[in-house]
Amino acid sequence: MGSEIRRSMPVLPISIVMQLTDLTARQIRYYEEHNLVQPHRTEGNRRMFSLNDVDVLLEIKTMLERGTNMAGIKKVFAMKKRADTDGKKEISDRELRRIMREEMLQARSMQKTSIRQGNLSRFY
């Protein structure tokens, strides 16, 4: 539904995102460098984030805390995107199994993490 629009509107300055995610500006910019988020830019070049961006950042945070590194995180996100775009395609079996294992680990840890899951339901 149209709630996609709201969640993708770039309205949050980095300072607020820092508070919402408990990440430093350095971390947020670093993840952007790795193309994990692509905040909008104002005319004056200031980053503006959407709620979806915040969600992504929280997911990244959780995975990093679980020990996953940038490379792994990138793959997970690439997966998600692919599973979303295509209806699933040519993915090497080994890779698929590794990813699934990761996703399941994430899912499990989600239940215990209680406060830092990959969504903002606690704020909304």
Partner DNA sequence: TTTTCATGTTAGAAAACCTAACATCTTGTT
Partner DNA sequence: AACAAGATGTTAGGTTTTCTAACATGAAAA
Under the rule (CB under 7 A), what is the footprint of DNA?
13-16, 24-27, 29-31, 42-47, 64, 69-71
Please, what is the minimum distance in Å from the beta carbon of residue 3 to DNA? Answer: 25
CB count in 10 Å sphere of residue 5:
9
Q: Residue 67 — left, alpha, or beta (φ > 0 → left; ψ -120 to 50 → alpha)? A: left
Residues that bind a second copy (CB under 8 A): 2-3, 5-6, 9, 11-13, 15-16, 20, 42, 48, 120, 123-124
Please, what is the minimum distance in Å from the beta carbon of residue 61 to a second copy? Answer: 18
6 vs 97 by CB, closer to a second copy: 6
Amino acid (one-letter) located at 36: L
48 vs 64 by CB, closer to a second copy: 48
Residue 75: contacted member of DNA, a second copy, none (CB under 5 to 8 Å, by partner type): none
Give Rg (Cα) of the chain: 15
Alpha helices, H only, 1-124: 3-7, 14-21, 25-33, 51-65, 70-85, 93-113
18 vs 105 by CB, closer to a second copy: 18
* Nearest CA among 1, 15, 116, 3 for reference residue 62: 116
13 vs 72 by CB, closer to a second copy: 13
Q: What is the DSSP letter of 87?
A: S
